[in-house]
A = this chain, B = another copy of it.
Amino acid sequence: MQFPFALAIIEDQATIRETLHEYLCAQPEFRCVLVAGSIEAFLELLPTAAVPPQLILSDIGLPGLTGTQGLPFILTRLPQAQVLMLSVYADAGRVFEALRAGAVGYLLKNTPLAQLKEHLLHAAAGGSPMSPGVAHYVVQAFAQMPATAPLNSGIALADLLPAEPLTNREREIVRGIEGGLSYKLIADRYCISIETVRNHIRAVYRKLQVNSKAELMAHALKRQRR
């Protein structure tokens, strides 16, 4: 993620929307790429955005699809987006629904603009900003939760090993893999036998220390994210 963060705002009340827009876009950290009055409008305008938004600030009480109802649609289109919900309500039900639907944070509308900015930056940094009372609900709910299995993810492997360089042919074939092609299609594309593809892949796996197509692509994904 790099400066300025591509930001989208979804809010139906024109005055609030304008206030948010004006304030946030005046900040050097943000770039407003999309401002909409409803989830439907947002999804419709999405293809026209110059840059896909990384940060989305969405009201919950929207006409049509509510912010929470719209979240799955947004996340399907922008899986990497951090969505912050904005609401006048601080009730546990709404908070839980929103977080379960995939929001990373939940802010109240009485949040001062300066703090809102801080929260947005916080979210961009991988945090989960919540207004005071809201965080409390979440922690409370936690205390009552049954013991769960740890669901970890942050795997940071030492891929800084001496990288054995791929040959040109190998890189071509890796591009094919990353394009989602099967061995057969790669073989066709380069007019070679599928056995040859296999052998190149084999060499690539050894050099990159992976042992499946999925790992190879996960590699590419990780590289891309910085």
Contact = CB atoms under 8 A, between A and B. Distances in A.
Contacts of A153: 140, 175, 179
A88 to B, nearest CB: 16
A223 B179 contact: no
Contacts of A152: 69, 72-73, 91-92
Contacts of A43: 161
Given A155-B69, A215-B180, A147 B100 contact: yes
A80 B166 CA distance: 14
Given A75-B166, A138-B139, A178-B218, 17 more contacts: A69-B155, A72-B167, A73-B152, A76-B165, A76-B166, A76-B207, A76-B208, A91-B152, A92-B150, A99-B139, A101-B143, A104-B136, A138-B142, A144-B151, A151-B190, A182-B214, A213-B213
13 contacts: A72-B165, A76-B166, A79-B220, A80-B223, A91-B152, A122-B132, A127-B135, A128-B136, A128-B139, A155-B179, A178-B221, A213-B213, A217-B218
